[in-house]
Amino acid sequence: MDSKNIRVGLVGNPNVGKSTVFNALTKMNQHTGNWPGKTVESAFGSLKYKDFLIEIVDLPGTYSLISHSKEEEVTRDFICHEKYDAIIVVCDAVCLERNLNLVMQVLAMTSNVIVAVNLIDEAKKKHIEINFEKLSDMLETPVVPICARDKKGLDNLVCTVCEMSQRVTSIKNSFLCHEEFDEKIMDKKTEEYVEKAEKIAAEVVEYKSDKHREFDKKIDKILTNKITGIPIMVGMLMLIFWITIVGANYPSELLFSFFQNLGMQLYELFEAINVPTILANVLLGGGYKVLTWVVAVMLPPMAIFFPLFTILEDLGVLPRIAFNLDNTFRKCNACGKQALTMCMGFGCNACGVSGARIIDSARERLIAILTNSFVPCNGRFPTIISIITMFFVGTSAGVFSSFYGVLIFAIIILFSIFMTFITSKFLSKTVLKGEASAFTLELPPYRTPKWGSVIVRSIFDRTLHVLWRAVIIALPAGILIWILANVNIQGLSILEYCTNFVDPLAKLIGLDGVILMAFVLGFPANEIVLPIALMIYMSTGELVDSNDLNNIREILVLNGWTIKTAICTIIFSLMHWPCSTTCLTIFKETKSVKWTMLSIVLPTLCGICICAIVNAIFMVL
């Protein structure tokens, strides 16, 4: 065969191992991007096979190509309008009947289709046998059994792709390729696809044991039970928080120590090459210190939280969380999938906002985006936990070594979830009126996590992606903070003028000007709020490095902090404007200044009102 470039589209339902197939084929030689006018990203990768150079486009996972979600539009448009040599539809051998519905739709659009039946090892464990030759005959297209995790059958799949590339791609005049669907035709065709999928599955799939789903059903009776489901879910979430924060302490200290030593060496280097002192202080005492503080505080917890979150995703637990909370979100006229984006927000609100792409309805997607910052991200945990430890538990026993501390933290988390429900309901009755839409929610079989995929998706796609956005904002913000703290006018720094200006408003909500200004200057990253407050209280002109909570508590008390101040600061940490990274992500997702501004105003107003109420109660008492 002559040397040839081949282009392949990779299609499949969520949770069928499509990304594992993509990663196994491309061996990490990949990048992400999106089509013009689309906000949903696809992954692109390539591999060489004999004389062929094969480009693979990993299209968004979707259950159907008939409705109008962004994921379905991207996949449908690629099949109808892009140039390619083959479409690979990845199916789950354990749930073949459900997957065949998508296969029918793709076959209605193009003839160059290869069906890759993945997870054949899981099917064997569950005593499920599939007649692949008969399946190929009934579909009139090649069918290749594979196990992507163990890289079995992939050579055969690639060989089949190369053979299919010799054909002329045939695009069929399917109603799916038209801009607007006729509802009657759509309903009729949908019914036909489902009936045909059922008929084919009945012919080719044989269950050797009636107990192939017994294990899943037993677990689901507990995890999706009305009584036990939510408490277990909350317990798992608290365990993840505990592992994240306790596990992040040591690497954070190492990073702080490393950056501190590097900073001293940079000061010596600047001095050796005669860099002006003022410039060295601006760059190192300002930009470098804030930048490294953000990295040292953000990186370890995200590097722990996101893999844990991805493991839950691979295990099949996350869809159960959405199932458990679906009824509550429906009562708020929102979508049950918002539960997943809310959980992602605990790791990083920017990731939670991006995750809202899984919600089909534009109205419900906006609700999920606008309310995501009501749950505290990893960046807000250090401030909240430090305050709980110093003012409610005692510095002799860390918050996570005390049941009392864990209980307080759990109450705070539950309150943030409660506020998510309240604000979702408020939005659905005001600026985003509408009823909750129906959606397909798959409860996939429980599986062993795909560890390679966990590392790729959690570290590279989430952690480093979010960290980079924070870094490019933290550096200039650090320079600005240093200038505000060190440029004096008539004996007072610009920062002190700012704190005095906002002090009256801050007193009304149980804070003081220093705390409120620290939140304002903490816009690049929530991690630096408490260090900025300490910097202003101590008049150091630079962020304060202090891990001694006894010392910090003494400084705060000397500057007027009380139990009321601690409570109001925790509440305002939960509810104030999103960080710069999240705001940037909201704008990228919505392409709207209006919605971005509302995402800032909504939590801030809630925080101000609740803090004012708490302050009034303390004044009366």
Measured CA to CA, the distance from residue 530 to residue 518 in angstroms comes to: 7
What domains, with CATH codes, occur in the chain?
Answer: 4-212 (3.40.50.300), 229-434+457-620 (no CATH)
Structure token pair of residue 138: 């009934």
pLDDT score of 418: 94
Average pLDDT of adjacent 10-residue blocks, the chain of 621 residues: 77 85 77 44 81 88 74 82 91 89 90 92 87 94 91 92 80 64 66 87 84 75 86 84 79 86 90 89 85 79 80 80 84 85 86 83 90 89 84 63 74 92 93 73 72 70 69 80 86 89 94 93 83 83 69 89 95 93 91 94 96 95 86
- pLDDT tens profile 170-208: 666 666 666 665 656 666 777 888 888 899 999 999 887
Strands 488-489 and 492-493: antiparallel
**C-alpha closest to that of 530 among 508, 545, 541:** 545
Structure token pair of residue 322: 């959405």
pLDDT score of 33: 43
pLDDT score of 19: 82
pLDDT score of 1: 40
pLDDT score of 424: 93
Measured CA to CA, the distance from residue 333 to residue 347 in angstroms comes to: 25
pLDDT score of 436: 67
Predicted TM-score of the model (pTM): 0.72
Classify 193 as helix, strand or coil: helix
3-state secondary structure 551-620: HHHHHHHHCCCCHHHHHHHHHHHHCCCCCHHHHHHHHHHHCCHHHHHHHHHHHHHHHHHHHHHHHHHHHH
What strands lie across the sheet with 143-145, from one edge to the other?
30-33, 42-49, 52-58, 4-12, 86-92, 113-118, 143-145
pLDDT score of 38: 43
Strands 30-33 and 42-49: antiparallel
Residues in the chain: 621
Which residues make Cβ contacts (< 8 Å) with residue 551, sequence separation at least 6? none
pLDDT score of 309: 77
pLDDT score of 2: 47
Phi and psi dihedrals of 171, rounded to 5? Answer: -95, 125
**C-alpha closest to that of 302 among 228, 262, 247:** 247
Q: Is the dihedral of CA 512, 518, 520, 523 positive or negative?
A: negative
